[in-house]
Amino acid sequence: MASFAQFLQDSGVYAAQSFMIVPRGGFNLVCLRDSKDVHLSYDRNRLQVEDVRFEQVERVAQEYINSRYGKQKSQERDDQLLRLRTALYGTARLDGSARGLKVVAKGVGIPELKAARGNTAIKLEVAILQRKDFTIAFRFLKHLDQSGNVINATKWTPDDVP
């Protein structure tokens, strides 16, 4: 039986809840397992769904990781890129039973992506949401006792960070 699955953890694909998030004007990736003879149907005015073919894996993986982590190098970014490439190459094989799907948001709302084989169908609700970026800052605070002496609440001090 066909099923949807995430390629990476915390990627906005919640297969157990049949739900996926796609940023407005962007895209997300989802794996369709056991996809032989499966027909996809969706609202073409709000979604564009493409199979990720073998020759597209590098480009799609780089685009996805750049949009998620930016272009600044880090070990976590490199690890996620390697995981995504490996998973996409696994689904891009011609003889494979899984398909990598690139889901592009073209509209707003929560359209459905349906995968059907014969009388059996599964659906994935696709929430098209505005992207939100956050900036986080930390400050060290001095915790003083009643006589004004510093109480070390943690082992870290301001000298430990740039």
Spell out the domains of the chain, with CATH numbers in brackets: 3-133 (2.60.40)
Cα–Cα distance between 40 and 2 in angstroms, integer?
11
pLDDT at position 13 = 94
Strands 13-14 and 39-42: unpaired
Out of 18-22, 45-49, 148-152, 158-162, least confident range: 158-162
pTM of the predicted model as reported, rounded to 2 decimal places:
0.78
For residue 162, name the pLDDT band (cuts at 50, 70, 90). Answer: low
Query: pLDDT per residue over 40-71, tens digit each?
Result: 999 999 999 999 999 999 999 999 999 888 88
Q: Distance between terminal CA atoms of the chain?
A: 53
Query: pLDDT per residue over 19-41, tens digit each?
Result: 999 999 899 999 999 988 899 99
Structure tokens at 134: 């956050």
